[in-house]
Structure 1
Amino acid sequence: MAAGAVIHTFTGSLADVDRGVYEELSLRVARHPSETDSYMLVRVLAFCLEWDEGAQFSEGVSAVDEPAVVIRDRTGRVTGWIEVGAPDADRLHRGSKLAERTAIYTHRDPAKVLALWAGKRIHEAERISLFSFDPGFIDDATGALERRNTLTVSVTEQQLYLELNGSTCSTGIHEHPLA
């Protein structure tokens, strides 16, 4: 954990009907001093939307060699490389070579994020997707963030329903292929 990081806890449930994933959640998230609430919330949502056995958070924005969320199998092999925000092309290239699945979740304008990678060398870019949310969704949801959080994440037909500390909001999950 980075020095000066603030710990946020998230307890609740995940019901991803689209993938057939139903889990009780108990997450401890270290928020780096330079990390925004929006970035942290997208990290939590990416963790939920990509949840698989072996999923874990890295050290967030201070992690140099790992994505925001990494998924490892029982042998320690990286099977999922999940980035948040707008990582550089070299990170995506490396992640795509290491993992079976590479994905990016962003709270930024997806057209601007995709433009950052145009013409860049990214291993098997056609297998990588950028996921975004409806405009305003992340801003609305961060207003309900606290240090100790209860959340319910439900996904059905690419629609995400979030209950965070009694506040509810929903969004489409929009997929943008890199190539």
Structure 2
Amino acid sequence: MALKATVFKVQLQIADMDRHYYADHSLTLAQHPSENDERMMVRLLAFAINANDSLQFTKGLSSESEQAELWDLALDGTINLWIEFGQADEKWLRKACNKALQVQLFCYGGRVVPIWWKNNSAALARYQNLTILDIPENAVTAMAALVNRNMSLQCNISEGQIWLSDANQSVLIEPIKLK
């Protein structure tokens, strides 16, 4: 019998001073049985950084089709933004860059990211529509401490710094732009 996803409800208030975007979002996050809290929170962070009315989570790990885990899909089917997570291989990112106007990769994992980047930076340099961000390991661990089945979070973004907070604690996240 297959394990089912765990469902998390999130009330997310975003104040993004860099983009002048201010909105409240009611989200339902499905955590795949193979996904840990850290990865799920990086997905939520990516949503907060790119939030708009057409940004949506897909079936992600549960999908067998070739689609992003998070994307901004226009009404005409154009993929405005394709977002991936982890240390993706060049072949997969090439497909994403050919399908979408913009692609973002959110890397996390601490010490493995610089090794992955050293091995892949030359091949990925040619993709003009690709942005790669490394989320520091300490921030990812701290975000995982915010996980609760019903989360009420505030996200404040200003000058590249991101504060993610609940009623009890705040986490400073400073993504490192690799590309």
TM-score by length of 1: 0.88
Native 8 Å contact 2:12 2:27 kept in 1: no
Q: Which residue of 2 aligns with 1:136?
A: 138
Tell whether the 8 Å contact from 1:130 to 1:175 is kept in structure 2 after alignment: yes
Q: Structure 2 unaligned runs (5+)?
A: none
| Cα distance, 1:41–1:124 mapped onto 2, change above 3 Å | same
CA distance in 2, matches of 1:108, 1:59: 22
1:145–1:165 CA contact under 8 A, matched in 2? no
Between 79-88 and 32-41, the greater mean CA deviation after superposition: 79-88
Deviation for aligned residue 1:124: 4.4
Residue equivalent to 1:31: 31
- CA displacement at 1:53 relative to structure 2: 2.8
Cα RMSD over matched residues?
2.0
Q: What is the CA-CA distance between 1:141 and the residue it aligns to?
A: 1.7
1:62, distance to aligned residue in structure 2 (A): 2.8
Residue identity opposite 1:87 in structure 2 = A
Task: Note if contact 1:11-1:150 (Cα within 8 Å) is conserved in structure 2.
Answer: yes
**Where does 1:153-168 land on structure 2 (aligned, <5 Å)?**
153-168=155-170
Moved over 3 A (4+): none
Q: Is 1:114 paired with 2:117?
A: yes
Match runs of 1:15-164 below 5 Å? 15-64=15-64, 65-109=66-110, 110-120=113-123, 124-164=126-166
Residue 152 of structure 1, CA deviation: 0.6
- Rounded to whole Å, the distance in 2 between the matches of 1:134 and 1:91 is 23
**Structure 1 spans left out of the alignment, 5+ residues:** none
Aligned partners of 2:119 and 2:14: how far apart in 1?
Answer: 32
Q: Name which of structure 1's ranges 26-35 and 163-172 shifts more when overlaid on structure 2.
A: 163-172
> Larger deviation: 154-163 or 73-82?
73-82
Report the TM-score when normalising by structure 2.
Answer: 0.88
Percent identity for Structure 1 against Structure 2: 22
Q: Which moved more, 1:146-155 or 1:68-77?
A: 68-77
- Displacement of 1:173: 2.0
8 Å contact from structure 1 (residues 8, 28) kept in 2:
yes
Count residues in correspondence: 175
Contact 1:151 1:164 (C-alpha < 8 Å) held by counterparts: yes
